[in-house]
Amino acid sequence: MDTQELDSPACQETSSLLSQSETERLLRGVPDWNLKTYGIQTIYKVFHFNSFKENIAFINEIAKAAESEKHHPGFHVSYKDLTVELTTHSANGLSVKDFLMATRIDNLHKTRRP
């Protein structure tokens, strides 16, 4: 890691911009999330549902979690498909928060009631 990015490694500001190698390491832990490298770096994942209604219900689940953590993803809805995008605007790219939210969303998806 580039130590210039950190003031105090033990208490690093967690919305700091991740380096490329950090991003790659974290990306390995969140299956099916992809990296969009053009523009502001973003991670995204496409979810498929049985109905439009189910799709929107899942967005509402995510919205609840996003509100409590004050970290809000972007959504693109196309009938039964949902693309969720995560980035940290204050860091102008990806931070640890994005990967934690990705994990949270995956867990919500696993435990949801269709």
Partner 1 sequence: MKGDDRVLERLNLRLAHELTVVNQYMVHAEMCENWGYKKLNQAIQKRAIEEMKHAEKLISRILFLEGLPVVSNLNPVHIGATIQNQHMNDWSAEEAVIKAYNDDVQLCAKIGDNGSRELFESILKEEENHIDWIEAQLAQIEQMGIQNYLVEQTG
Binding site for partner 1 (CB under 8 A): 1, 3, 6, 9-12, 14, 16, 18, 22, 25-26, 28-31, 65, 68-69, 96-97, 99-100, 102-104, 106-107
Work out how close the CB of 19 gets to partner 1 at its nearest, in angstroms, rounded to a whole number.
Answer: 8
Helix (H) or strand (E) holding 76: strand 74-78
| Structure-token pair, residue 85 | 């995008």
Instruction: Please identify, using beta-carbon distances, which residue of 80 and 109 lies nearer to partner 1.
Output: 109
Instruction: Please identify, using beta-carbon distances, which residue of 7 and 81 lies nearer to partner 1.
Output: 7
Instruction: Please identify, using beta-carbon distances, which residue of 16 and 55 lies nearer to partner 1.
Output: 16
Instruction: Give the three-state DSSP class for 18.
Output: coil
| Structure-token pair, residue 100 | 């934690």
Amino acid at 27: L
State how far the Cα of 24 lies from the Cα of 35, in Å rounded to an integer: 9
